[in-house]
Structure 1
């Protein structure tokens, strides 16, 4: 049994984030989870924090470090949507999604990298989306924020690689979560018909890819975008 690692997952109270947190807990790791509304999985250290609030984020990092030691694995997963067509999209629709999905992830990576640089090891994993590379009508803000994570990860991979820190992206497709449950049956069927595997993902399948990127087996993988999308985004 390897010694437990210090893991931080943002947005870890539901959906993909929760599945990721549960997967690391099952591995025996020490997992801290940030959430805006509470409800972290059993066995996780729950930290109330919004990734757009720099002071709350710093407090969350300190609490996680006090409990589990310096963060060794960061999963930047917290994300929101504010979908609408371009001509109806307000500045607020744009700003809120970029602030959470992109700027929040930047702040997390910058803070986590401090400890990782000192330890000369670390794994940074951004949760993007098939939409970031494939595009999606009504999601100009969301797609921009999620594709931005790819550029960020690849820059970090080059910058932090000499310190034995990897930075990678997991790009899920459509997953059975609260975020997709709001779609109508007609919308769901339309999406499903475009997915070569003909089904939505289970959140645990996304967690599996994250777990692998954090494992010793993936020590030589950095700057990669790993799609977990049933083949929806091939070539994009």
Structure 2
């Protein structure tokens, strides 16, 4: 049976690297992305994108967006947008994908170091909340789907060299890099390598885990 992997956010920095890695491994790819006109937080949009897909081997949810500022700057429009883009979309996608998944499949959701340590004003309170919520969703799904031998894990990156960082000033980038013990921003290809491992037989006993790929920013 052909391996078919769904990558949400597959036109973006991390999602694109994951799509490239899985494609190179011989997987057939289904991509959901705003750039393709999809709304991953809308069940009807996700159902349409999956129409005709016979089965899924892996699901990688790498979509998301950031906010900014502190709670005093936060309006409900930003709160709802960031939670929808990161957390609601993960719920909607996994709910639609699970009936298509066969035993032994793998789901990888994306948290963040912000979901580990509470974040900062560069990405805002909604982002930290959404990414922390993704850890809870990962653990719930891991227990709930274990009887079907479907594994569910999360990756929690630190700063990654994607367009998401381009919104920051050089001073902000330098300050962020100074908080990383290894002193380097992670290339998206390294995140894709972690996703490849989580989707492989080498991780057959790994479920409910949060894999921190952050250069040492969080050592929990």
TM-score class, shorter? over 0.9
Cross-structure match for 1:129: 112
1:69-117 CA-partner distances (Å, limit 9, x unpaired) = 311100111101121210110011111111121111001111111122x
Q: Report matched runs for 1:186-205 at 5 Å.
A: 186-205=171-190
SS for the counterpart of 1:12 is: coil
SS for the counterpart of 1:233 is: coil
1:168 is displaced (CA, Å) by 0.2
Q: Report matched runs for 1:67-106 at 5 Å.
A: 69-106=54-91
Query: How big is the alpha-carbon RMSD for the aligned residues of Structure 1 and Structure 2?
Result: 1.2
SS for the counterpart of 1:75 is: strand
Rounded Cα–Cα distance in structure 1 between residues aligned with 2:38 and 2:160? 24
Q: Which of 24, 37, 50 is 1:26 aligned to? A: 24
Rounded Cα–Cα distance in structure 1 between residues aligned with 2:176 and 2:82? 23
> Structure 1 length as normaliser, TM-score?
0.89
SS for the counterpart of 1:92 is: helix
| Structure 2: unaligned runs, 5 residues or longer | none
Q: Report matched runs for 1:214-233 at 5 Å.
A: 214-233=199-218
Deviating above 4 A after TM superposition, structure 1's stretches of 4 or more consecutive aligned residues are: none
Cross-structure match for 2:35: 37
Asked if residue 55 in structure 1 is aligned to residue 44 in structure 2, the reply is yes
SS for the counterpart of 2:217 is: coil
1:5-60 CA-partner distances (Å, limit 9, x unpaired) = 1100011112000000000011111011112124xxxxxxxxx3111222111101
1:165-213 CA-partner distances (Å, limit 9, x unpaired) = 0000001110111000121111111111111111100000000000000
Count of aligned pairs between the two proteins: 218
SS for the counterpart of 1:81 is: coil
> Structure 2 length as normaliser, TM-score?
0.95
Q: Which of 96, 99, 108 is 1:114 aligned to? A: 99
Cross-structure match for 1:171: 156
Q: Which has the higher contact order (CA 8 A, sep 6+)?
A: 2
